[in-house]
A and B are shown apart, each in its own frame.
Chain A
């Protein structure tokens, strides 16, 4: 049973020592209740409290880190089933599968592809996060060789070591000791030995159920492995077909979150590889939307990456943070130095609607969009973000004065009250009050033309 913040608070030392990084024990307790902090941050918590809190404060999907250092990626920690309820926490990891049947040159080429996969999109650096080593040859030597090339040529890239062969697992895990790889993995035949290897090299263990055993076999396996002292796992139900991936991923996430069913409270690994590359992309898209934490791909063309990165970014956006557009002067149509200049805030819906209506008016214009933390006009004004002095400063710094001859600024009707004050602060400018609602813009613009 999850405890409330206040219940947790009662178990804390109440010293307000700040060692956890929070200002008070109460603030820390509230964060624990939301599973946004770990109890380990408190050095003074009593053993009794730790036991009581242990289970309760553990996130329903265990947090796992893949890799170390700057390229390490976090997985798990999810708290909801639908993104409109609350932000999905840790974006899924994309891993390129590399077969150990490839030549060294081919392998190096693939490494380069992963390294060069970085794309910048709306201020975020997006990339292929990891490499999955595939033991297609069945030979431990070949797999060891692949692991050796990777650990030497690309030591920074996190890896998933996919083999069921114990000696291949041992050799490769040794190369990645303490670098947080996933060893995938353990099945009902080899889990005892695999657990030993994972333990020895402090690796996360990938648990694979057979396709016939499904979620039942999977939950039994994770419980057995846990008894052997392994805490960090990622899980695979054996689902490969899209229909099964959807079914299993949904049941796993529901069991973890709604039933707090610990044996399935681990990140999910999904193998999306297909002959048909576009179909593979769509299976990966299914994984992104429906709860996969690692998605293994057979190829990473740039067009494919761009689409998958973008979908991941969209799905993992915080639904509580208003979507914002970049602060700048947008051109609508092909404005000249005589074209009108309008201003609004950077709440994306406001921007979409205002720019759409300006477009409808068929008058080429400049639209100044000001950063107001994504608030709409009236809210931004009330919150002190869309004020005369801030508007004046933005207009001055925007450089628009170099692009237009006139000095007239059209402001939204809702902030008519600001017109005089803006004129005081923007010397030589005239402020015109536009319509209150965006749908009045076409008529407003037309009437100005006369």
Chain B
């Protein structure tokens, strides 16, 4: 029996989405096959890993992932420049966590100032994230979008409760938009429909189906991402052909496997290596499932993922 490779071709294709400006502009997406399946189609762009920084010192991050940034994190600008210039980051994700009412409760104006300073100090693409407080994010992200006008950033996350204002700000200032839903492919499609019904260009949306950490619901995110990709490719569904984002670091660096000291859990081995591995394994699973953009924290985990992408491309 002769072997004929059972290759798949799909009618759909993931939209190519560019972010940033000038020489450091980056394009993601554009493939017409499942992740890294270049043997049966085209995969023109590699996935993008963005280094996460935030507007206030990361005192809530576990020690292993605070350490690499200890000299720079007091100031978001020095932090961003460190990632760009020393760690060779390809993109920065600035999380405005300090605006959360239960945190520093920074105002939209303060957040906008931070965004302006950061965007002016780097030439790589910027992702601007709110604090996931749906009401506050509306005002914060409008101000942030204006402060970074025409720099072709990604802003978000727009959710069902606040997408209208955020999408309008993204249009007005020429940004891409993250559409986030909670682990439900049907709600994800619904949100994309609602956003495009406002007149928002469907090819400027990034899907965030909600990330989860290894051991904490990872299989849900994994399957939702796989199903989104299959809907976009095999069913040629134009509302499911956007690049997918995985907000990996935030979900990983709060589970006990990345925090617990080896002294307390000797069976789990070295704390720091465990944390880095946890983030890297979560990240590779998301990439295999279909993500094109990841937001990550630990430089060593990012380095390993870049090497793995090299092997996969």
- Establish whether residues B230 and A314, one from each chain, have CB atoms under 8 Å apart when the complex forms: no
The total of chain B residues at the interface (CB under 8 A) is: 47
- Establish whether residues B284 and A246, one from each chain, have CB atoms under 8 Å apart when the complex forms: no
State which of A194-202, A301-309, A376-384, A413-421 sits at the interface with chain B: A301-309
B250: Cβ under 8 A from any A Cβ: no
- Establish whether residues A242 and B308, one from each chain, have CB atoms under 8 Å apart when the complex forms: yes
Closest residue on chain A to residue B269 by CB atoms: A302
Interface string of B1-32 (1 = CB under 8 A from A): 10101111000000000000000000000000
Tell me the smallest distance from the CB of A86 to a CB of chain B, in Å.
12
Given the complex, which residues of B lie within 8 Å of A362, measured CB to CB? 102
Tell me the smallest distance from the CB of B103 to a CB of chain A, in Å.
13
Q: Label chain B's interface by main secondary structure.
A: helix
The total of chain A residues at the interface (CB under 8 A) is: 56
Interface residues of B in 205-255 (CB under 8 A from A): 214-215, 217-220, 222-223, 226-227, 230
- Establish whether residues A303 and B270, one from each chain, have CB atoms under 8 Å apart when the complex forms: yes
Given the complex, which residues of B lie within 8 Å of A219, measured CB to CB? 1, 3
- Establish whether residues A301 and B270, one from each chain, have CB atoms under 8 Å apart when the complex forms: yes
State which of A62-70, A256-264, A388-396 sits at the interface with chain B: A256-264
Interface string of A288-305 (1 = CB under 8 A from B): 011000000000011111
Closest residue on chain A to residue B161 by CB atoms: A439
Interface residues of B in 74-125 (CB under 8 A from A): 102
Interface residues of B in 250-290 (CB under 8 A from A): 257, 267-270, 273-274, 276-278, 280-281, 284-285, 288-289
Given the complex, which residues of A lie within 8 Å of B280, measured CB to CB? 278, 281-282
Closest residue on chain A to residue B3 by CB atoms: A219
Given the complex, which residues of A lie within 8 Å of B38, measured CB to CB? 243
A324: Cβ under 8 A from any B Cβ: no
Given the complex, which residues of A lie within 8 Å of B219, measured CB to CB? 83, 314-315, 317, 319
Closest residue on chain A to residue B223 by CB atoms: A84
Q: Which of B220, B230, B274 is close to A307, meaning CB atoms less than 8 Å apart?
A: B274
- Establish whether residues A279 and B304, one from each chain, have CB atoms under 8 Å apart when the complex forms: yes
The CA-CA distance from A218 to B288 in the complex, in Å, is 25
Tell me the smallest distance from the CB of B263 to a CB of chain A, in Å.
13
B36: Cβ under 8 A from any A Cβ: yes
Closest residue on chain B to residue A117 by CB atoms: B267
Q: Which of A261, A281, A306, A323 is close to B257, meaning CB atoms less than 8 Å apart?
A: A306
Are A243 and B217 also in contact (CB < 8 A) when A262-B1, A278-B276, A281-B281 are?
Answer: no
Interface residues of B in 293-313 (CB under 8 A from A): 300, 304-305, 307-308, 311-313
The CA-CA distance from A82 to B311 in the complex, in Å, is 23
Given the complex, which residues of A lie within 8 Å of B1, measured CB to CB? 219, 223, 261-263
- Establish whether residues A311 and B281, one from each chain, have CB atoms under 8 Å apart when the complex forms: yes
Are A306 and B268 also in contact (CB < 8 A) when A255-B6, A263-B3, A282-B284 are?
Answer: yes
Are A82 and B3 also in contact (CB < 8 A) when A119-B267, A278-B300 are?
Answer: no
Given the complex, which residues of B lie within 8 Å of A282, measured CB to CB? 280-281, 284, 304-305, 308
A285: Cβ under 8 A from any B Cβ: yes
Q: Which of A250, A254, A289, A307 is close to B278, meaning CB atoms less than 8 Å apart?
A: A307
Given the complex, which residues of A lie within 8 Å of B304, measured CB to CB? 276, 278-279, 282
A348: Cβ under 8 A from any B Cβ: yes
Interface residues of A in 294-340 (CB under 8 A from B): 301-308, 310-311, 313-315, 317, 319, 323
- Establish whether residues A307 and B288, one from each chain, have CB atoms under 8 Å apart when the complex forms: no
The CA-CA distance from A319 to B221 in the complex, in Å, is 12
Q: Which of A220, A241, A276, A286 is close to B284, meaning CB atoms less than 8 Å apart?
A: A286
Are A285 and B273 also in contact (CB < 8 A) when A279-B308, A310-B215, A311-B214 are?
Answer: no
Tell me the smallest distance from the CB of B296 to a CB of chain A, in Å.
13
- Establish whether residues B312 and A285, one from each chain, have CB atoms under 8 Å apart when the complex forms: no
B164: Cβ under 8 A from any A Cβ: no
Are A83 and B222 also in contact (CB < 8 A) when A246-B36, A279-B308 are?
Answer: yes
Are A278 and B222 also in contact (CB < 8 A) when A243-B313, A262-B1, A290-B288 are?
Answer: no
Tell me the smallest distance from the CB of A440 to a CB of chain B, in Å.
14
Given the complex, which residues of B lie within 8 Å of A308, measured CB to CB? 281
The CA-CA distance from A286 to B8 in the complex, in Å, is 20
A177: Cβ under 8 A from any B Cβ: no
The CA-CA distance from A51 to B2 in the complex, in Å, is 24
Given the complex, which residues of B lie within 8 Å of A262, measured CB to CB? 1
New contact pairs (4) apart from A83-B226, A259-B6, A285-B288, CB-CB < 8 Å: A243-B312, A246-B312, A247-B37, A308-B281
List 14 A-B pairs, Cβ < 8 Å: A243-B311, A246-B312, A255-B5, A255-B6, A278-B304, A279-B308, A302-B269, A302-B274, A307-B277, A310-B214, A310-B257, A311-B285, A317-B219, A319-B219
Leading 3 A-B pairs by shortest Cβ distance: A302-B269, A303-B269, A303-B274
